[in-house]
Every structure is written in structure tokens, then in C-alpha cells.
Amino acid sequence: MTRFRLTVEFDGRPFMGWQRQAHGPSVQEAIERAAKAATGETVTLHAAGRTDAGVHGLAMTAHLDVERAITPFRLMEALNALLRPDPVAVLACEEAPDDFHARFSCLGRHYVYRIINRRAPLTHEKGLAWRIAAPLDAEAMHAAAQRLVGRHDFTTFRSAHCQSESPVKTLDRLDVARDGERVTVRASARSFLHHQVRSMVGCLALVGQGKWSADDLRGALEARDRAALGLNAPPDGLFFVRADY
């Protein structure tokens, strides 16, 4: 048995999410199907994060175990050939120690959320960014975001479907920066609650439009109540960037 560590890029638009679902296509299912065709074995894929429908991946880490002898390069090439035409690509494949676990060994997760701040609809990036027509004050968003950094009970920013044991998480980074019409939010933590990044970005968008103050954002956090959430951002702009081990 050899454990392989994969680095996966995917376009979330056609998928119901990363995780295998009964009712529609998933990234996990696409890769497991390709792996079965490549090796003849029924494999289970484990990933650093389980992204929602419509959320994208730039370099998701995952692992799987294969019994038959195959080199990492040949496995990667076979998976990429068999994954077509699904918008999923294996960027890297390497042997990993038997105790490596893409989910449980992960020490840090990084997301980026792309906002395009303009009146005109999106063309090339439709489904790959959140278009916000009203002008956003990115500096105010960044300043307010710092009120969420640190160890907190993030119940307000947690989906009702979240399976995490505790709502207490440590947010290491939440940066907002503007480059022309692009406003980019970068979030890093050891782990996130379900919908946490999208919920934080949604509320930051309210701050950026002047509808919420930094104190309103802090108040929403301290309410520890999903009903205090201002807005959940759409999945379109969210990308899982990478996992640290």
C-alpha cells in the first residue's frame, strides 16, 4: 500500500461541493472515479477542506491509498487524463508517509475571496468572483476585519449544518486589500467553521458599503447568534488556496 498526496485545482461551478453527495456531482467523486479507472481499486479520498457547492480550489491537498505499484508521476498523468472533461486537475502527486492525513495532519488553511467592485456584470470571471456594484471602502473593511482576528466563539458566522465540535476557533489572518476594481479578502486559520469565510466576507461587504461599522461587526461576533449575521457571501468568489502541514 502506498499513500499518495495530491495537490488539486478545481473549478467549483459544476459541482455540488468537494464532498461526495447523493444528489449531484462532487470533486471527490470525480477523483475517486478516475482513481478507480486508473488503478482498478476502490479508493477513498481525504481532503484538507470540504468546500461547498460553487466554491473553488487553487491547491487543495488530498490523499488516497493505492495497493498496486504505480509511480506518483504515472498516477498524476492517469488521473488528469481520466478526469477530462471535468474541470479538476492534479497539479502535483507525491508519495506520503502512512501517517500523513490530508485532513487531520493539516496545521493551517488559507482561503482567498475575490470581489469585483464595479457596476458592470462579470464576463470571464462569472462564477469566479462576487460582483458588488456599490462602492466599497476596502480600508474600512480591513480595519474592521481585525476585530475578528484571534480566538473567538464564531457561532454568528457558522452555518446551521456545521459539524465542528466547538464554535471556538482562532482566526490568524483576515486581510482586505484593493487593487483597482478588485477587492481581495485573505483568511487563514488552523481550521474554519462551515460557512465561516463566506459569512465574514458578507459582513465585511456591509462594512465596505457603510451599512455596518466596525463596532457592528464586533457586536455581531459577540452576539454568538446566527441571527446576528448580516449577510452570507455567495460561493462564487471563494477559493481554497492551500493547506499547511
Following CA atoms 32, 163, 53, 107 in sequence, which dihedral angle do they give, to the nearest 10 degrees? -70
Least distance between a copy of itself and beta carbon 147 (Å) = 32
Grid cell 463596532 is found at 215
| Site for a copy of itself contains 119 (CB under 8 A) | yes
**C-alpha cell of residue 113:** 475571496
Contact stretch for a copy of itself (CB under 8 A) within 16-24, 37-45, 112-120, 210-218: 112-120
What is d(CA 90, CA 45) in angstroms, rounded to the nearest whole number? 13
Is 235 within 8 Å of 53 (Cβ atoms)? Answer: yes
Q: Which residues pair with 183 in a beta bridge?
A: 115, 178
Contact stretch for a copy of itself (CB under 8 A) within 60-68, 117-125, 201-209, 221-229: 117-125
Least distance between a copy of itself and beta carbon 120 (Å) = 4
Grid cell 476585519 is found at 145
Least distance between a copy of itself and beta carbon 15 (Å) = 11
> Per-residue x/- mask for a copy of itself, residues 41 to 80, rule CB under 8 A?
---------------x-------------------xx--x
CA distances from 62 to 91, 200, 238 (A): 12, 26, 19
Least distance between a copy of itself and beta carbon 172 (Å) = 24
Phi-psi region at 238: left, alpha or beta (left = phi > 0; alpha = psi -120 to 50): beta
User: 99 catalytic, yes or no?
Assistant: no
Residue from 64, 112, 128, 217 binding a copy of itself (CB under 8 A): 128
**Per the annotation, does 245 bind a ligand?**
no
Q: Smaller CB distance to a copy of itself: residue 76 or 203? A: 76
Site size for a copy of itself (CB under 8 A):
23
- Close Cβ partners of 174 (under 8 Å, ≥ 6 residues apart): 145, 146, 148, 149, 185, 186, 187, 200
Q: Smaller CB distance to a copy of itself: residue 45 or 221? A: 45
Task: Exactly one of 52, 137, 153, 244 is catalytic; name it.
Answer: 52
Question: Binding site: what residues are annotated?
Answer: 111
Catalytic annotation, residues: 52
